[in-house]
Amino acid sequence: MNTAPVIGIHDLAVATGSRVLDLADLAYATGVEPAKFHKGLGQDQMSVPAPDEDIVTMGAAAAAPILERHGTAGIRTVLFATETGVDQSKAAGVFVHRLLGLPSSCRVVELKQACYGGTAALQMAMGIVARDPRERVLIITSDVARYGIDTAAEPTQGAGAVAMLVAADPDLLEIPGPTGVWTADIDDFWRPNDSDVAMVEGKLSIDAYLDAFTGAWDDYRAQGGVDVGEIDRFCHHQPFTRMAEKAHRRLAEHTGVDLPLETFLPSTFYNRRIGNSYTASLFFALAAVLDADDDLAGARVGLFSYGSGAVGEFFTGIVRPGYREVMRRERTEQMLDARVPVSVADYRALHRGVPRDTTNDITVDAVSAGPFHFAGIVGRARRYTRD
C-alpha cells in the first residue's frame, strides 16, 4: 500500500538590509516618546536597505546558504513571493536564478497577495513535491516595507528575506494537513501601480487581520484541524509585534482557552529588530521559534499568515527530530549585529533615494558588504552583480 510522503521545510535561512535605524532615534526626531514604539508597537529597530540592495539581493543572500548546504540537485522550481516586485512582468526570482547559478531546467514564478504570498508559495511547493517526491522547491520571500515619511506607519517599516527549501522527509518542519483559509475583499492596505509607498487604513487593517485569524481558525477546525490545546508554539504574521500579540489574545478569547504569551513571544525576537518584512515576516517568526533555547523536537507549531486585501490562512507544522543540528541563531544574530547604524537624516535620504525613473541609465556603486548588488539600470532594465 502506497503512503503519502512526509513533506515540509527541509532548510531555512534569512537575510536583511545592511543598515539599521534605532527607533528611539526616530522617536526623538519626531517628538514621540520612545515607549510608543518599543511598547506600543513592540518594535526596537528597523532594517534599511543600502542603495545597492533590494528584494533580489536580499532574496539571493537568504537562499545562498541553503544551496551551499544542499546543492541544486532536484530543484526544478523557484517560487519568489513579494509585494514589492521590481518589475511588472519579469519575476524577481529570474534575477536570483542567475545570481545563484541554478540550472536552466527550472521554472521560476513570482507570487503576490500582500504579505500572504509566502504561504501561498509554501502550499504550492507542497503540492509539487507531493506529485514527485524527488523534487525540491526553493521558496524565497523578500520585501521592503515602505510607507510615507511622517506617517503613523513609518516606524513599522523594515526589510528582509527568508528562503526555504521544501522537500520530502524534511529536516526542520513537517507540514501536515489540514489548513484553514479565509478571504474577503477589503481595502485595508494596498499599493497602487503609480505609488512606491503603501496606502493604509490602520484600524480597518487591524480589524481585518483579527477577523481573518478567527475565520481561518474556524475553517481549520472545520477541516479537521487539532484542538488549540494541542499546539505548543504559535507564529503569527507580524506587521508589528504587538499586532501579533493582539491576534494571540483574540485566539484565546475566541476558543475560550488560556494561551500563555510564552507560547507566542519567542516568535517576535527577530521581527522586533528587523521591522515589517511583509511576505517574510511569518517565516522570520518561525526562524526565531526554531532558534529559541527550548528543545522543540516533536512540538506542534501553529502558523497564521495574513495578507491585506485580504487573505488569511492557518496551518500547523511539527518540528522534526534533529532540527537543531544546523544551528542558525549565531549566524542570524551576527548578521543583525553587523548592520551599519544610520541616523534619521541618513535613513530618510535612503528612503527618498530609491530609483523611480527608469528612463535614464544609472550606475549604483556596491556599498554593502554582502555578495549580491543592485548595479543600476541600463536600457530601462535592472542589472545585478555577484562578488
What's residue 2's pLDDT? 59
Look at residues 190, 186, 277 and name the one whose alpha carbon lies nearest to residue 239.
Answer: 277
**Which cell is 39 given?**
511598547
CB 319 within 8 A of CB 299: yes
Instruction: Judge whether 262 counts as a catalytic residue.
Output: no
Instruction: Judge whether 53 counts as a catalytic residue.
Output: no
CB 200 within 8 A of CB 153: yes
Q: What is the DSSP string of 12-42?
A: EEEEE-SEEEEHHHHHHHHT--HHIIIIII-
Q: What is the DSSP string of 343-379?
A: -HHHHHHHHHTS----SS-EE----SSSSEEEEEEET
Which residue stretches of the chain have pLDDT < 70? 1-2
Q: Phi and psi for 245 in degrees, rounded to 5?
A: -65, -40
CB 43 within 8 A of CB 32: no
Task: Quote the crossing angle between the two packed helices 241-255 and 202-222, to the nearest 10°.
Answer: 40
Overall pTM > 0.75: yes
CA distance 45 to 275: 7
Start-to-end Cα distance in the chain: 51
What's residue 196's pLDDT? 84
**Which cell is 374 given?**
543592485
The type of residue at 327 is M
Look at residues 318, 32, 14 and name the one whose alpha carbon lies nearest to residue 158.
Answer: 14
Instruction: Judge whether 97 counts as a catalytic residue.
Output: no
* Alpha helices (runs of H) in the chain, residue ranges in sequence order: 23-30, 34-35, 55-70, 92-99, 117-131, 202-222, 241-255, 271-274, 281-291, 329-337, 344-352
Task: Indicate the CATH number for domain 175-325.
Answer: 3.40.47.10
CA distance 20 to 32: 19
CATH class of segment(s) 7-173+326-386 = alpha beta
**Which cell is 190 given?**
494596498
CA distance 132 to 292: 33
CA distance 29 to 321: 48
User: Which residue in 10, 53, 110, 115 is the catalytic one?
Assistant: 115
pLDDT in tens, 236-295: 999 999 999 999 999 999 999 999 999 999 999 999 999 999 999 999 999 999 999 889
CA distance 144 to 275: 10
Residue partners of 174: CB distance under 8 A and separation at least 6: 6, 7, 8, 317, 318, 320
The domain spans of the chain are 7-173+326-386, 175-325
What's residue 197's pLDDT? 86
User: Which residue in 97, 237, 248, 373 is the catalytic one?
Assistant: 237
Q: Phi and psi for 94 in degrees, rounded to 5?
A: -70, -40
User: Which residue in 10, 53, 83, 110 is the catalytic one?
Assistant: 83
